[in-house]
Each structure stands twice: as structure tokens, then as C-alpha cells.
Structure 1
Amino acid sequence: MTAPTSPRIDQHPDIMALRAHSEETTATPAAQAVEALAVLCGVYLAASPWIVGFNGFTTLAINNLICGVAFACLVGGFGPAYERTHSMSWAALGLALWTIVSPWVVAGSAAFITPAIVSNVVVGIVACLTALALAGLGVNRARRL
């Protein structure tokens, strides 16, 4: 005896409408530019200890490497699966805020290296703005539904 066939969940009209709205939201040039800027922000954060020259401060360098890779992975996942991942932009915002305060928290008394502070604060602010913009795309999309 075979089980009764039921329609697949991915064929449900609500799911299909959600996907269509998500594709519409991320297809705009502005959304793609924000996502690209956010990914570049994460890549720069990961490489900043070697670009700026504070790789001698191992804990801060490792912190930036991990946070940068995590940020880039979080925001890089929005494009192909925005309908399931747009809420992760709040986690990206948390990482961006951590980036701003991390020179003082992680490096402690060694945090008085101006290039590291300036780099982390600037990239943290840009990352905050891009994460908020990506979160805003999800809010705007939800209002239009």
C-alpha cells in the first residue's frame, strides 16, 4: 500500500509568493550594491591586521580574522537565499558592533594603537550601516506583502 500523495511544500502558493517577493527585493541594483559592500567590509575586516599593520597584536588580529570571515559569510548568504536568511542581518549587526568595541575589549592595554582603532571603528560603522540596510530590505519587503 502506498502513502497518499500530497502536494509538495515548496509548491505551496504562499511559499512561491514569498520567493517571488524575495527575488524582487534582492534583484534591485541598490540591494546588490549593499550586499557587495557588506561582503567587501567583511573581507577587509579579515585582512585588516595585515593591511593596516597591527598583526603583531595576535589576539586582535585573530579576532578581526574570525569576525571578518563570519561577517562576510553571513551577508554573502543573503543573495542566493534571501527569503530564509534576511533575519541573519541582525547577527551581522552584532558582529559589526563587536568590531567597533573589540580593540579595547580584546587587546586591553595594548589597544592604544591608533591604526587598529581607526580601522576597526571605520569598518565597524560601515558594517553596521550595511547590516541595517540589509535588515531594512527585509522589513520593506514584509510591509509590501
Structure 2
Amino acid sequence: MSYARQPSGMGTHPELAEMRERLERTASSGSAIAIEGLILLAGAYTAISPWVVHFSGAEPNLTINNLIVGITVGLIGLGLTLAPDRMFRLAWVVVPLGVWLLISPWVVTAAHGAGAGIIWNNCVVGAVTALLGLAAMGLTIGVTRRRTPTTA
């Protein structure tokens, strides 16, 4: 006896095409493109901010911290821009990175404290980054939320 083998896995699920179509529609919207670009810019600024605000010499640990977090946020923003269908679910990572930027002047420089310019820089950049991450997450939630049929 020979049984016809049915393809298994989610790749053949009938709702997968609909989910991909909604994701592409959302990822190509104007607001998604703007958020992705702003995340990329926030990451780039965070990476260069130690030299813009002139705290690279005074706070070497915070300089390294901002450089690493900035590159990470920038790469996520670049990934969202280049391959939104693959990277959209990674957008939630931007929020904790923004929160880390907010608290990092006190955590990284706990022994001797950071200057006011450094604190203001990281607080503003961290808040903007976290808000952009929340906005990107909101777009992701809009894609994955199932529509419930209404009965008349």
C-alpha cells in the first residue's frame, strides 16, 4: 500500500500567504519606512555621540557602551530597511536598548558619575530610541493581530 505523502510544516499553511501579504503591506507603508529610517539614524547618532558630545576621553566605558549599542540599533534599523519581512519581529529589541541607553550613564559610570551633557544626551537618545522601538512594535502587532469576523 502506498500512501500519498502530504507536505508538512507551516510553509503550506493556507493563512501563511495572507500573513505575508499583510506584512508586506505594512512594511511598505510610509509610516513603517519613516520609523525604520529613524531607527537607523538613532543608531548612527548613538554610535558617534561620544565624539559629538565630547565624552569619549572622560568616560571610556560609556564611549564603548554607546558605540556598541549604537551599532546594534543601527544594524537593526538597516535590517528593517533592507529586509523588513525577515526583521520585523526583531523590532522589539530596540525598546530595551533604548531603556539601557537611558540608564547607562548611572550604571556604567556608577563610581564617579557622568557629566550633565552625557546624561542629557543618553536620556534623550534613549527615550527616542525606545519610542521608535515601541512604534515599530506597534506596526508588528498590527500585522500579527488576527481580525475577528463580526456577525451581522
* Consecutive unaligned residues in structure 2, runs of 5 or more: 148-152
Measured after TM superposition, the shift of residue 17 of structure 1 is: 2.3
Residue-pair matches, total:
142
Q: Give the equivalent residue in structure 2 for 1:49.
A: 50
* Consecutive unaligned residues in structure 1, runs of 5 or more: none
Residues 112-127 of structure 1 aligned to structure 2 (within 5 Å): 112-127=114-129
Contact 1:31 1:137 in 2 (8 A): yes
Aligned-partner SS, 1:24: helix
Distance in 1 separating the partners of 2:77 and 2:143: 17
What do residues 47-81 of structure 1 show as CA deviations (whole Å, max 9, x unaligned)?
00001100011100000000000111123222343
Q: Give the equivalent residue in structure 2 for 1:40.
A: 41
Contact 2:43 2:72 in 1 (8 A): yes
Residues 67-106 of structure 1 aligned to structure 2 (within 5 Å): 67-106=69-108
Percent sequence identity over matched residues? 36
Measured after TM superposition, the shift of residue 27 of structure 1 is: 1.1
Return the letter of the residue paired with 1:141.
V
What do residues 97-119 of structure 1 show as CA deviations (whole Å, max 9, x unaligned)?
10000011011233331111000
Which structure has the highest helix share of the two?
Answer: 1
Measured after TM superposition, the shift of residue 82 of structure 1 is: 3.0
Distance in 2 separating the partners of 1:96 and 1:131: 8
Aligned-partner SS, 2:109: helix
Distance in 2 separating the partners of 1:24 and 1:79: 14
Contact 1:48 1:64 in 2 (8 A): yes
Contact 1:97 1:124 in 2 (8 A): yes
Distance in 2 separating the partners of 1:86 and 1:46: 22
| TM-score after normalising by structure 1 | 0.85
Corresponding residue to 1:128 among 123, 130, 135: 130
Distance in 2 separating the partners of 1:109 and 1:80: 41
CA-atom RMSD in angstroms: 2.2
